[in-house]
A and B are shown apart, each in its own frame.
Chain A
């Protein structure tokens, strides 16, 4: 069954991505990222002296504030904050500036699906703009599963609501990282929503989930090249 997507996109086709740095003059680093209609603005302030109360003073502390497009900060925003914070903890070199706090403020400008990947890209670009040392870039993608088991990458809001299940993944971007640890093939973050098929007698593997991971990973390389090009072209100015 050939699924018709809005705008005639293929199942593996991503929406046009745009990323620009240094959009705010007062912040230490800032970036704006858009995936199709979804737009997110991120600003970085830091490193500032001192960590928060319960945090480990031997490492840098990362604080994320997530501002929704409208309304007050509620539970979904707090969840996003926690996920983004832990994802950024993975990519930042936390031992370089111990006992400091870096604040990242994320403002949702428009949400048309794939909000978390867009926010991760914006936050990474803002961290680059601020000059915070990173191990590697995080590249993120979301995919959804239709009832028939087909996988669609980068869904928009309407598609997200109609789907059986939804996965958001973040991977480390390139092989050239500062720390040459064993495998840079892992998954930084993975979130699922909705029920996916599990074990059948033929395949004892979580088929659908791993298919999403494979397709996501395949789409990551061109995506990370695009992002790097956008970020590089600005710094050359």
Chain B
């Protein structure tokens, strides 16, 4: 075709960077043909840590009165993905009167694509840390007015008539931890873990969230210019040979889950040693 050959001629004269900015889609498509990505990584190779993407997650806990519908439960002020992970009943202090409300703040320090994956990972990591850290759910007791008050060690001289409501600093128990992977679908290619440059050009993405027992927590494809075939989502596997074709989103997510679990466990155990 005349148009593309014109571009190819131009590209041989132009610098790579200029070509990248002027014809971003063609730049990426030429890489796709060779099955590599501009930064030299393979199409389906997953970066074990998101390259230039850093997030910070902090958990704050505050005492609140629980809702009327769920007097035995605490509350997590956010996402549906995480609600399967923590048993809300753990957060209850005094049935019907007080429970922990967990605030999760996530700060994005450096954004380079696939924000949801990184945010979920950092939230999960923060909750796991909550489990092992020495500063856990602090000990509190019920005051005279019926208000919850923090019991500190300096209260040695004060009268200790009130029994602390939760004597031992409990750890937060996590059930099944979700991990996610965002993939971009472009024509017949699947790009895993896109950078923000790739995201801005190729607009069809989908996010698969699997938990540690490989149950599907969420499969999210919010429209976008391309269509998703079921074969792109998951290719049927040949049970006889038990070979998993790596070219589909769910298998990629499974690999990602295993890698992330390993990394998370290593990191947490390192922190525990400190």
Residues of chain A touching chain B, judged by Cβ–Cβ distance below 8 Å, are 82-90, 94, 167, 170, 172, 183-193, 195-199, 204-206, 208-210, 213
Q: Is the CB of A205 within 8 A of B236?
A: yes
Q: Is the CB of B223 within 8 A of A90?
A: yes
Q: Mark B196-230, 1 if CB is under 8 A from A, else 0.
A: 00000001001000110111111111111111111
Chain A residues with Cβ below 8 Å from B237 are 204-205
Q: Residue B192 at the A interface, CB < 8 A? A: no
Question: Which residue among A191, A192, A213 has the maximum number of chain B CB atoms within 10 Å of its CB?
Answer: A192
Distance to closest chain B CB from A80 (angstroms): 10
Chain B residues with Cβ below 8 Å from A183 are 227, 229
Closest to B238 in A: A204
What separation, in Å, do the CA atoms of A99 and B224 have in the docked complex?
Answer: 18
Chain A residues with Cβ below 8 Å from B227 are 90, 172, 183-188
What separation, in Å, do the CA atoms of A87 and B224 have in the docked complex?
Answer: 6
Complex partner residue of B216 from A196, A204, A213, CB under 8 angstroms:
A196
Chain B residues with Cβ below 8 Å from A205 are 234, 236-237
What separation, in Å, do the CA atoms of A188 and B229 have in the docked complex?
Answer: 9
Q: Is the CB of B222 within 8 A of A193?
A: no
What separation, in Å, do the CA atoms of A210 and B234 have in the docked complex?
Answer: 9
Complex partner residue of B223 from A94, A170, A184, A192, CB under 8 angstroms:
A170
Distance to closest chain B CB from A221 (angstroms): 17
Closest to B215 in A: A198
- Which 3 residue pairs across A and B have the least CB separation, nearest first? A186-B227, A86-B223, A87-B223
> Given that A196-B215, A198-B210, A209-B216 are contacting pairs, would A190 and B221 also be in contact in the complex, using a CB cutoff of 8 Å?
yes
Q: Residue B159 at the A interface, CB < 8 A? A: no
Q: Residue B244 at the A interface, CB < 8 A? A: yes
Q: Mark B226-256, 1 if CB is under 8 A from A, else 0.
A: 1111101010110100001000001000100
Chain A residues with Cβ below 8 Å from B244 are 204
What separation, in Å, do the CA atoms of A118 and B258 have in the docked complex?
Answer: 39
Distance to closest chain A CB from B254 (angstroms): 8
Chain A residues with Cβ below 8 Å from B203 are 89
Q: Which of B89-112 contact A (CB under 8 A)?
A: none
Distance to closest chain A CB from B220 (angstroms): 6
Chain A residues with Cβ below 8 Å from B210 are 198
Chain B residues with Cβ below 8 Å from A185 are 227, 229
Q: Is the CB of A204 within 8 A of B239?
A: yes
Q: Is the CB of A86 within 8 A of B230?
A: no
Q: Is the CB of B230 within 8 A of A198?
A: no
Q: Is the CB of B222 within 8 A of A197?
A: no
Chain B residues with Cβ below 8 Å from A204 are 237, 239, 244
Q: Residue B84 at the A interface, CB < 8 A? A: yes
Chain B residues with Cβ below 8 Å from A94 are 225
What separation, in Å, do the CA atoms of A94 and B214 have in the docked complex?
Answer: 38
Complex partner residue of B218 from A189, A192, A197, A213, CB under 8 angstroms:
A192
Distance to closest chain B CB from A189 (angstroms): 5
Q: Is the CB of A193 within 8 A of B80?
A: yes
Known: A83-B222, A192-B216. 5 other contacts (CB 8 A): A83-B223, A187-B229, A195-B215, A198-B213, A208-B216
Complex partner residue of A89 from B211, B217, B225, CB under 8 angstroms:
B225
Chain A residues with Cβ below 8 Å from B228 are 186-187, 190
Q: Is the CB of B224 within 8 A of A90?
A: yes
What separation, in Å, do the CA atoms of A199 and B220 have in the docked complex?
Answer: 18
Distance to closest chain A CB from B27 (angstroms): 17
Closest to B187 in A: A182
Chain A residues with Cβ below 8 Å from B230 are 187, 210, 213
Chain A residues with Cβ below 8 Å from B211 are 195, 198
Q: Is the CB of A190 within 8 A of B220?
A: yes
What separation, in Å, do the CA atoms of A187 and B217 have in the docked complex?
Answer: 19
> Given that A193-B80, A195-B84, A204-B244 are contacting pairs, would A188 and B216 also be in contact in the complex, using a CB cutoff of 8 Å?
no
Closest to A92 in B: B225
Chain A residues with Cβ below 8 Å from B220 are 190-192
Complex partner residue of A186 from B216, B229, B234, B254, CB under 8 angstroms:
B229
Q: Is the CB of A82 within 8 A of B229?
A: no
What separation, in Å, do the CA atoms of A86 and B244 have in the docked complex?
Answer: 32
Distance to closest chain B CB from A54 (angstroms): 10
Closest to A86 in B: B223
* 11 contacts across the A-B interface (CB closer than 8 A): A82-B222, A90-B223, A170-B223, A184-B227, A185-B229, A187-B221, A190-B220, A192-B216, A198-B216, A209-B219, A213-B230
